[in-house]
Structures are given as C-alpha cells and as structure tokens.
Amino acid sequence: MRYDSVLLVAFGGPTPGCCQKYDNDTCPGEAYCFVEGIAGTAESQRERVKDIAAHYIKLGGFSPFNELTFKQADALEKALQARNLPLPVYAGFRHWTPYLQEVIAEMARNGHRKILGIIMAPHQSKFSWEWYQQTVKKGIDAVDGEKPTIDYLDPWYTRKGYIGAIAEIIKTTSGEKLERAELVFTAHAIPQAAADNSPYTQQLEKTGEAVAQELGKTQFGLAYQSEVENSPIPWTQPDINDWLKARKAEGVDTVVASPIGFLCDHVEVLYDLDIEAAETAEACGIDFIRAGTVGAHPKFINMLADFVCEKSVISQVP
C-alpha cells in the first residue's frame, strides 16, 4: 500500500467554542462538557466531573492539547517533505473537536484512501490504543461511498529519537542537579486489571530503562498520576505524590520528574505535576524539577518521520 496521508490519533482537550450540548442559559462551560464526555452523565459522576473540570478552570478553562498536537502534525509534515515524502498530516481527537470522525470524513472528501495512522500515545493499553482504533474504525465506517483504509505505525516506546528527545529535555531542564537528583518517570494511571491485560507497565519500564541508560543513571523510579479519586477498583501504583513522600522518608532531597507517558504539556501534566505534585514536594522539602514532554522536539519528530518512511517502503514490497 502506498499511503496518501497521515493521521495523528490523539485524546484531545477543550478549546473555546460551545459544543452546543446544553442551551446558552444552562451551559456549564467547555471544560465541564469535555470531562463529562469522558466520565459520562450519570449522577454518580457529577462531583468527579466538577472536580476535574476545576483543574482546567484553574488553568484558564481550556487545554493547550489540541494546539500542541497541531504543531506536531505541522512539524511532521515538514519533516516528511524534507524526506521527499510529501504526505499531508491531519490530526483528529477522540474527545473534542475536530473529532476523529470529522477529520476522517474530511480526508475522504479530499480524496485520501490509504491512511497511515499514528496513535499519539507511546505505551499500549485498552485506553491508549484499542479505544482509539475503535473510534477510527467508526469514523471510517461512517464515510459515504468508497471508504479509506488505515494502517498504524507500530509502537515506538524505545525508538532512538523518542528516547533521545526525553533525555535531552531532562538534561536541559535539570542541568548540574541531575547528577545528584533521583529520577522518576510518570505516566497516566490506569485500572490495574487493564494493566494486567496489556503491555502498558512493561513498556513504561523499558522506556525508563532506555532513558536512564542514555543519561548514565543506574536507577530510576516509575510512578503514576491522574488516578480517578475514590475509585472502587485498584489503579496502577505508586501515585506520584505517595512516591515523593516515600522518597523523602529515605532522605531524597532532589527529584527530576519526566512525564514519559505524555507527548505534550497539557492539563494533566500542568495541573497534576506542576501544581499537585509540586505542592507535595514543597511540603516534603524536596527540590522538584519537572522536565518537559517531547512535544515537537526535533529528535521526536524526526523519529516519527523516519518511521513513516520505513513503513511506506515496507508497504510497497510485494
């Protein structure tokens, strides 16, 4: 298959503009509607929706997620052009506009029939890969007339450019403090049952090992964030706040945290790490240094571009 387009498949975040789910008099705002679209409309979820929406409101009411993903798409398109592979790169979201179904319909209208998808989540679980693929399939099924086909890039959680980008950002952020600091990698918590039935935690460990080796560090921690509070089911542990308290008890006074499970600095990073975890660290007397996500770092984007080229060549082999 010779691909004619690339689709970044991502989570999404609330941006200005009414979703028209409620009328003007009762609309609770974009952040509330966004969280409600994920958590559901059941009465039992109402307080949870309000609590999480408050995180967004504290940071201005919206998320930079979509804009940052568009920047990744633009950078990737330019990197592909530089490699003589001039494919248009689209971005669609599971939980906010432009929704994946909208973008896939647009791609079909533009004549694209052979799409290469990139799931913008480095580590695989039901929530980070399978649900995305199901959403894309629904979008393709909804296309009138000739339907496009889609292949996906394989996971890239240990590919050199991804690892190199993380390591370089950590070095730049922490400077001389890195040598004496304890290194911790974070990712989104998921239900333990989902982790037990996916390679999620193992892939996170391998990413952590690769980055630590690149940095010359022999030890690192792995912690989770953004767990659903008061959940009746167990989630992956330890929580980053509990991890910080435990390390303080062991005498650690400097921590460098790198959110390897996220690809851009959106609200779950900006709030859960930069506010909540930072407050925990301050209370413990820990110097807390949060490294940035890979975003549109050249090493990361070039890794994706090279991988797309590899996949394009392989797809044309008889």
**Residue 304: which region, alpha, beta or left (left: phi > 0; alpha: psi -120 to 50)?**
alpha
Which pLDDT score, from 0 to 100, does residue 314 have?
Answer: 60
Task: Provide the b/e sequence for 38-65 (b: ≥16 CB within 10 Å).
Answer: ebeeeeebeebbeebbebbeebeebbbb
**By the 8 A CB rule, do 259 and 293 touch?**
yes
Measured CA to CA, the distance from residue 21 to residue 77 in angstroms comes to 34
**Quick one: pLDDT at residue 296?**
98
First to last CA, the chain: 10
- For residue 10, the one-letter residue type is A
Q: pTM, whole model, 2 decimals?
A: 0.94
Report pLDDT for 67: 97
- What was the pLDDT predicted at 317? 40
Cα–chain center distance at 77: 19
pLDDT at 123: 98
At 230 the pLDDT is 78
Beta strand 89-93 pairing with 114-119: unpaired
Cα atoms found within 13 Å of the Cα of residue 88, Cβ hemisphere only: 13
**Which residues does the chain have with pLDDT short of 50?**
315-318
Confidence (pLDDT) at 1: 53
Nearest alpha carbon to residue 235 among 272, 178, 194, 295 = 194
**What's the CA gap between 193 and 71, in Å, rounded?**
35
Task: Please give the pLDDT value at position 28.
Answer: 83
| DSSP string for residues in 272-307 | IIIIIIHHHHHHHT-EEEEPPP-TT-HHHHHHHHHH
The 10 Å Cβ neighbour count of residue 289 is: 20
> How far are the Cα atoms of 8, 57, 99, 154 from residue 121, in angstroms, in the given order?
10, 25, 17, 11
90-104 CB burial, b ≥16 within 10 A, e <16 = bbbbbbbebbbbebb
Structural domains in the chain, sorted by start: 160-290 (3.40.50.1400)
Q: In the prediction, which pLDDT does 25 show?
A: 66
| Residues in Cβ contact with 128 at an 8 Å cutoff, skipping those fewer than 6 apart | 119, 121, 188, 200
